[in-house]
Structure 1
């Protein structure tokens, strides 16, 4: 049996990059998938088509996951379509100001922090009642290595992701008695549309810092997500899983 046979997965920010790769891999593992997108409708439709080619069901649902009403509609649409919701992958990218601390305004900093945390908070409050009703579920949040290893100009992003990591651990503690696990996947640098503009020299330097001597592809992160979502992995909760090619071996 496939490790997600009969399961339903909701993935936010699933039209491109890590989210799209995760959606396709979940389908290969036997899941039906709700593909959330914000503005990339055509890209989301392509992901749905790929999932259907795997013999699984999929829907594309537009929603701004920073918005409370959109989150409620997204979760209700998923449950109404598939009858259940087993796995939430909170992956949607929240834009952030890229600048030094002393050049950043509080509004710029708090916009990222509030957007990241409001998204996770609302999504989890929306899905937990459904998971509890059906006897359990899995929540997987996508953080960043910058949550633990600072890098210049990433203070807003890294601080928000660090808050997300701690939030997820609190979820693991509180939701465990409901048979709901909560884990973090923390990628290093991943080759996606969001990073392709970065200098080639930087990519080469970062690759050389890893024992594997390469950067991650979205599929590498998707594999880590599947490892936590699979039915045979039922005892891991509160886990912080770095997926960075061994860049940080501490």
Structure 2
């Protein structure tokens, strides 16, 4: 039996990178998939073609998940199309100011915190009642290794992703009795469009520090996400799972 037979999944920010790889892998595992994007329509339609090539249904929905209105559009359209939501992957990339703390304004810092947490908050609050009605659901929030291991310039990003990880624990505790599980995937550096322009020296340094001696591909993070939402995996709740090749084993 397929790991996600008869399941419907929303993957936010799934036109590129980890989100795109996840949308395709969930479809290969038997799920119908909603591909959400903010501005990359062309890329989203390419992902849709890959999803449909698996034999599953896909739907592209443009929505800015930083706003409550965007979230409402996304969830309402999903229910209208598929009638249910079994899986939510909160993956949308929220941009942030990359600079030292001493040079950062509160506006820059709070922009990332507000939008990262606002997106997760509104999405979960909108999806959970539907999952309650169905009697089950699986939520995966994407954090970052920078939430536990600081790196120069990433203070806004790392702090916001740490908030996501703590938020997930509270959801896991409160929603567990309703048969809704919440877990966190925490990637290290992944080779995507978002990271390809970073200094090659930094990539080389991280490769050398990683026991597997390579950086992650989006498909490998997608594999970890699938392992948390598969039908056979129903008792992991409140977990924080690093996907970083062993560079940080804390």
Q: How does 1:134-149 map to 2 (within 5 A)?
A: 134-149=134-149
Q: CA deviation at 1:234?
A: 0.3
Q: CA deviation at 1:35?
A: 0.3
SS at match of 1:185: strand
- Residue 244 of structure 1 corresponds to which residue in structure 2? 244
Q: CA deviation at 1:205?
A: 1.1
User: How far apart in 2 are the matches of 1:5 and 1:232?
Assistant: 11
User: How far apart in 2 are the matches of 1:191 and 1:53?
Assistant: 24
For the pair 1:46 / 2:51, whether they are aligned, the reply is no
**How many pairs align?**
250
For the pair 1:201 / 2:207, whether they are aligned, the reply is no
- Residue 97 of structure 2 corresponds to which residue in structure 1? 97
- Residue 62 of structure 1 corresponds to which residue in structure 2? 62
Deviations 1:178-232 (A, max 9, x none): 1000000000000000100012221111011111100000001000000001011
Consecutive unaligned residues of structure 2, counting only runs of 5 or more, are: none
User: How far apart in 1 are the matches of 2:184 and 2:103?
Assistant: 30
User: How far apart in 2 are the matches of 1:17 and 1:134?
Assistant: 30
Q: How does 1:1-250 map to 2 (within 5 A)?
A: 1-250=1-250
User: Under a length normalisation based on structure 1, what TM-score does the superposition of the two structures give?
Assistant: 0.99
Q: CA deviation at 1:249?
A: 2.0
Structure 1 segments of 4+ aligned residues over 6 angstroms from their partners: none
User: How far apart in 2 are the matches of 1:199 and 1:117?
Assistant: 29
RMSD: 0.5
Q: CA deviation at 1:243?
A: 0.2
Q: CA deviation at 1:149?
A: 0.4
SS at match of 1:76: helix
Consecutive unaligned residues of structure 1, counting only runs of 5 or more, are: none
